[in-house]
Amino acid sequence: MPVIFAYIFVVFIWATTPLAIQWSNSSLEFVTAVTIRMILALAICLALMIVFRIPLVKRKSDWIAFLAGMLGLYPNMLIVYWSAQYISSGLMAVILGLYPFAVGFFSLLFTRENVFNPMRIIALATAILGLAIINFDQLTAGSDAIYGVLGMVGSSLLFALSSVWVKAVGATINPLRQSTGVLVLSVPAFALTWFFVDGKIPEEIDMKSLVGISYLSVAGSVIGHTLFYYVLRHCSMVSVSLIPLITPVMALSIGVLLANEKLSGMSMLGVVVVLAALGIYQGVFKHLTNPRRLRQVIDECKLFVKAVVSQ
């Protein structure tokens, strides 16, 4: 598959995942919903591995890559599902937009790749300001949403750490093998957590939960994670970190259209500040204010469209 298609699918799946997670939780405990999703995803991945006769492990070092990827699922997805009980799907996606900043920090810490310049430091400070506005609004409203906000911040850090670690140790591993290996390690951890936290077999599952879990098992865990590892393998970390710049706007729109979600004026201000910070971090405004660079961006967009149409 061309990398461009994989990139587009990843963006779409990331934008729709927060709402699908909330739907999954509609009639199930959060730990039950995420555990069922991971078990189904593992079953699908193992079936694909058998059909295509792909070995799970080729060398001992593969387990290190699987362990690195596991951090992005467990406990990360457990935190995401827990946070979804308190905040809207659109706000979840916006806070996950902090991912590029966390990637930059962990890249500097572990790979000695310094992506921070004065403008990106300003962007980081702006993002923190936006997050502070969102948190302040939730606190003054006396809402439990602050738990969801803090949970999603923690999730962004864990996912970024996992991405940088996978990029460092598992860049050459087949994406389906990586997804399957990560699930092999993660599913027992999810099952044990479910047993001790809930441990109850659900008696009834409504249609929203069925749709959410089914979509996330196939699109989110199997297709989404496999394509994400494919993109991670073939693209730079800077290109990968662009994904959270696009998805929040899509996720906010999807939440409004499909779930009638609303944000307070103060939270919306915080969202705008965070998105502006992402734009500064990725140099979007620099391109828009420089005619020559703007023309280059337009030309690249034209080439992008031609590449998609001609495939």
**Which amino acid appears at position 217 of this protein?**
S
- The structure tokens listed for 244 are 């959270």
- The sign of the dihedral angle between the CA atoms of 269, 96, 156, 100 is negative
Local confidence pLDDT in tens for the 311 residues of the chain: 678 788 889 989 989 999 999 999 999 999 999 999 999 999 999 999 999 999 999 998 899 999 999 999 999 999 999 999 999 888 898 888 888 889 889 988 888 888 788 888 888 888 889 888 887 877 776 678 889 999 999 999 999 999 899 888 866 788 899 999 999 999 999 999 999 999 999 988 999 999 999 999 999 888 988 888 888 778 766 667 677 777 887 888 888 888 888 878 888 888 889 888 888 887 766 655 566 655 655 565 555 445 444 44
CA-to-CA distance for 247 and 269, rounded, in angstroms? Answer: 18
Question: Which alpha helices (H) appear in 52-144, and where do they start and end?
Answer: 62-70, 76-83, 89-96, 99-106, 118-140
Residue 115, SS3 per DSSP: coil
CA-to-CA distance for 170 and 61, rounded, in angstroms? Answer: 8
What is the predicted pLDDT for the residue at 308?
42
Do 177 and 63 contact (CB within 8 A), yes or no?
Answer: no
DSSP 166-231: HHHH-TTS-HHHHHHHHHHHHHHHHHHHHHHHT----S---HHHHHHHHHIIIIIIIIIHHHHHHH
Residue 64, SS3 per DSSP: helix
Quick one: which H or E segment has residue 38? helix 30-51
Total domain count, the chain:
1
Domain that holds residue 196: 3-310
Q: How many residues does the chain have?
A: 311
Which residue from 248, 123, 103 is spatially nearest to 167, judged by alpha carbons?
Answer: 103
What is the predicted pLDDT for the residue at 309?
44
What is the predicted pLDDT for the residue at 271?
87
Model pTM score: 0.84
What is the predicted pLDDT for the residue at 81?
97
CA-to-CA distance for 217 and 199, rounded, in angstroms? Answer: 21
What is the predicted pLDDT for the residue at 141?
61
- The structure tokens listed for 253 are 């729109």
Biggest CA–CA distance in the chain, Å, is 62
